[in-house]
Amino acid sequence: MGGNGFDTSVPAVVFKLDPNVMHHGGLGVIRGLGRVGVPVYAVQEHAYAPAAHSRYLRGHWVWRPDPDDVDEVLRGLRRVAERIGRVSVLFPTDDAGAIFLAEHGAALREWFHFPDPPRHLPRTVAGKYSMHRMCRELGVPCAEAAMVDTLAQAEEFAAGTGFPLVAKLATPWRKGGELRSTTIVHNGQDLAEVYRLGAGASLLLQEYLPGGRDHDWFFHGYCDRDSRCRAAFVGLKERSYPAHAGLTSLGRWAENAQLRGQAEQLLHRIGFRGIVDLDFRWDARDSQYKLLDFNPRLGAQFRLFTDTAGVDVALAAYLDLTGQPVPPGEAVPGRRFLVENYDPIAALRYWRDGELDPLTWARSMRAVGETAWFAADDLVPFALMCLWMGARAAGRPLRKLPLRAGKESR
């Protein structure tokens, strides 16, 4: 029994298929559950991945499977279960992992607890164009968008919509050449370059919704088997990396009953089950919150939303999947979450664009309740993150270190 009165005897396993050592969401799960006494294990892509060295991790396995090799992934997860020796709660922290479990997870339920959404729903909502079509069918406000197969089609969409535009990989869990998953396109030259970099990838163009202060919102929640939100939180994206088009580098907890209700209604309507991360932008032109992205897994900044009962979406999922009630807690509006390796870079861009000054930056650092990497009780992941960032700046030499595939720690 954990210190908060929870039964923490069931282990948890953090799992992802995207080989990104700098993903801080998995570390949030490890620390959040580990601190309440849950035995946490993880599948990692590199022996020196920062999250692999958290003091709250009971063990990890270095494994980088091919996401398209269904049998290999199933065999690997079964081996993890056999080594743990008990049924565990499985947490996918990327789109590919969530999609895999929805479509192939039936063979794993003997060893793991995880949500059971409609089989093809995670793929539908994670896909940028399939999500757009779903929104149109359901009458959910969203930005105008189109799939483009040729540069001529891209130029035709741009002519009708105008610049700037947003270019997105339609299936972001797959590689898109040299193209980022989201890129702002300012002119025809940018458009041609984006099309060149994304050659061979499915490319979606989306209208750029006019932004501004307090326009970018996100919703994090956990839906039970009846698609009811057992935990639901709303926040504001104050800065992102890359600027205006990337992950949240500084986020703030903000109450918004209208948006929360809109998100919960959508999730119940489509029968979603599990952890979810939604991105919205307020469009002042027609006074609507428009859905931009639907991620069928936890958002990397989910630890922003830790209420007065100590509950976040990962703990809510753990409790529900192990048959325990989720205790009620109070919101903590104003609390901030900082990604310390990316936000300084983002802040420089906002400053260069005339959107940030030193005083405003200093004020934004107030009420930072949690950071992605630094934790006084768990310092090694922060140190390794710094090494990785330094290595990236120097040409990524850490990539050449041995993976020690299959190695189990502790």
Same domain? 197 vs 313: no
234-237 own/partner pairs: CB under 8 Å, 24+ apart: 234/259, 234/260, 234/263, 235/301, 235/304, 235/305, 237/279
Same domain? 220 vs 309: yes
Residues paired with residue 223 on neighbouring β-strands, in sequence order: 229, 274
Give residue 55's Cα distance to chain centre: 23
Give the per-residue pLDDT at 181.
84
Confirm whether 396 is domain-assigned: yes
In terms of DSSP bridges, do strands 88-92 and 12-15 run parallel, antiparallel, or are they unpaired?
parallel
Confirm whether 129 is domain-assigned: no
Give the per-residue pLDDT at 134.
97
Q: Phi and psi (nearest 5°) for 90? A: -105, 125
Token digits for 109?
Answer: 């339920």
What is the chain's pLDDT, residue by residue, as a tens digit (410 residues)?
A: 655 789 999 999 999 998 899 999 999 999 999 999 999 999 999 999 999 999 999 999 999 888 899 999 999 999 999 999 999 999 999 999 999 999 999 999 999 999 999 999 999 999 999 999 999 999 999 999 999 989 999 999 999 999 999 999 999 887 656 678 889 999 999 999 988 887 667 889 999 998 778 899 999 999 999 999 999 999 999 999 988 888 999 999 999 999 999 999 999 999 999 999 999 999 999 999 999 999 999 999 999 999 999 999 999 999 999 999 999 999 999 999 999 999 999 999 999 999 999 999 999 998 899 999 999 999 999 999 999 999 888 775 554 444 333 334 43
Helix/strand/coil (H/E/C) assignment for every residue in 320-370: HHCCCCCCCCCCCCCCEEECCCCHHHHHHHHHHCCCCCHHHHHHHCCCEEE
SS3 at position 72: helix
Same domain? 220 vs 310: yes
Confirm whether 78 is domain-assigned: yes
Confirm whether 7 is domain-assigned: no
Domain CATH code at residue 235: 3.30.470.20
Distance CA 141, CA 353 (A): 29
Handedness of CA 35, 36, 39, 43 (dihedral sign): negative
> Side chain identity at 88, as an amino acid letter?
S
Same domain? 53 vs 167: no
Token digits for 391?
Answer: 């290595």
Same domain? 301 vs 393: no
Same domain? 259 vs 341: yes
Confirm whether 317 is domain-assigned: yes
Could you tell me which of 236, 235, 238 has the C-alpha nearest to residue 250?
238
Could you tell me which of 229, 228, 207, 211 has the C-alpha nearest to residue 220?
229
Same domain? 175 vs 33: no
Sheet holding 88-92, edge to edge: 57-62, 40-44, 12-15, 88-92, 112-113
Quote the domain boundaries for residue 52.
Answer: 12-114+379-400
* pTM over the 0.75 mark: yes
User: 200: exposed, middle or buried (C-beta count within 10 Å: 0-12, 13-18, 19+)?
Assistant: exposed
Question: What is the four-CA torsion angle of 97, 100, 105, 111, rounded to 10 degrees?
Answer: -30
User: 155: exposed, middle or buried (C-beta count within 10 Å: 0-12, 13-18, 19+)?
Assistant: middle
Greatest Cα pair distance, the chain, in angstroms, is 62
Domain CATH code at residue 79: 3.40.50.720
Confirm whether 330 is domain-assigned: yes
Same domain? 73 vs 104: yes
Give the per-residue pLDDT at 198.
76
* CA 255 vs CA 16, 233, 298, 376: distances in Å: 31, 8, 19, 29
Q: How many domains does the chain have?
A: 3
Same domain? 229 vs 344: yes
Same domain? 280 vs 192: no
Distance CA 176, CA 200 (A): 7
Confirm whether 139 is domain-assigned: no
Peptide bond between residue 164 and the one before it cis (omega within 30 degrees of 0)? yes
Confirm whether 19 is domain-assigned: yes
Residue 43 in contact with residue 14, Cβ under 8 Å? yes
User: CB under 8 Å to 395, separation ≥6 — which residues?
Assistant: none
| Residue 380: how many other CB atoms lie within 10 Å | 14
* CA 51 vs CA 175, 188, 334: distances in Å: 23, 41, 27
Token digits for 297?
Answer: 């897994």
What letter would DSSP give residue 170? S
Same domain? 251 vs 314: yes
In terms of DSSP bridges, do strands 165-169 and 112-113 run parallel, antiparallel, or are they unpaired?
unpaired
Residue 382 in contact with residue 375, Cβ under 8 Å? yes
Domain CATH code at residue 200: 3.30.1490.20
Same domain? 184 vs 246: no
